[in-house]
Amino acid sequence: MSAKTFPSPFLTRENTALLLVDHQVGLYTGVRDIDTLELKHNVGGMTKALLALKIPVVATTTTERMWGPMIPELTEALKGVPKIERTTVNAWDERRVVEAVKATGRKQLLVTGISTDVCLAFPAIAALADGYQTFAVIDASGSFTKMQGELGVMRMVQAGVIPVAYSNAVVELLGDNAAPEAEAVYGALGMPFVSLVYGLNQYFSKQH
């Protein structure tokens, strides 16, 4: 199968949306390939930063009576953003999820999910087949074993999904450190050294 071609290899603010899949309390208890505190920091920070950049967000959970509610960190960050609860394993098999993504008008899709090999990989590959340029946020996702996570990433890459990290995707979308959203973006990412350097630069820039 020949690789799909897209207008730009880079994420753009005008054409990107975020799809959050199955970040649920019960599923987090099984994550073993990334520390869950780090995982919550990464996905929460990324979501807040993208909202600061006015990137549209679609959030979905699966069978909450089985896997529990969305983690509190995301529930707090996503106030006012509707959540789609479904029963399908593959989020892209749920018509309401596909329609919500389509309604954003964006064709570049950041996807993150628990687990990497199922809840991230399945919709990322399916959305790619439907014409979206999909980017899998690996360090804002997690798997129940290291092997499952690695195989999930391999499967996505072979299908044409682009793997990214939470912070590099965000700064790619920020684009310019002089942008008015920069302070809010770096603050949301929770990278203390970046906030310190940014604050010092702001201070010294006012001394001239």
Tokens representing 54? 């006015």
Neighbouring CB atoms inside 10 A of 116's CB total: 31
Instruction: Report phi then psi at 95, rounded to 5.
Output: -55, -40
The answer to whether the CB of 62 falls within 8 A of the CB of 22 is yes
Q: What is the DSSP letter of 120?
A: I
What is the SS3 assignment for 129?
helix
The answer to whether the CB of 68 falls within 8 A of the CB of 24 is yes
> What span, in angstroms and rounded, lies between the C-alpha atoms of 122 and 203?
46
Catalytic residue among 19, 119, 161, 189: 119
Sheet containing 133-137: give its strands across. Answer: 83-86, 57-62, 16-21, 108-113, 133-137, 162-164
Terminal Cα-to-Cα distance of the chain (whole angstroms): 57
In the residue annotation, 71 being an active-site residue is answered as: no
Nearest to 103 by CA among 12, 17, 14: 17
Nearest to 18 by CA among 115, 116, 132, 95: 132
Catalytic positions, written as ranges: 119
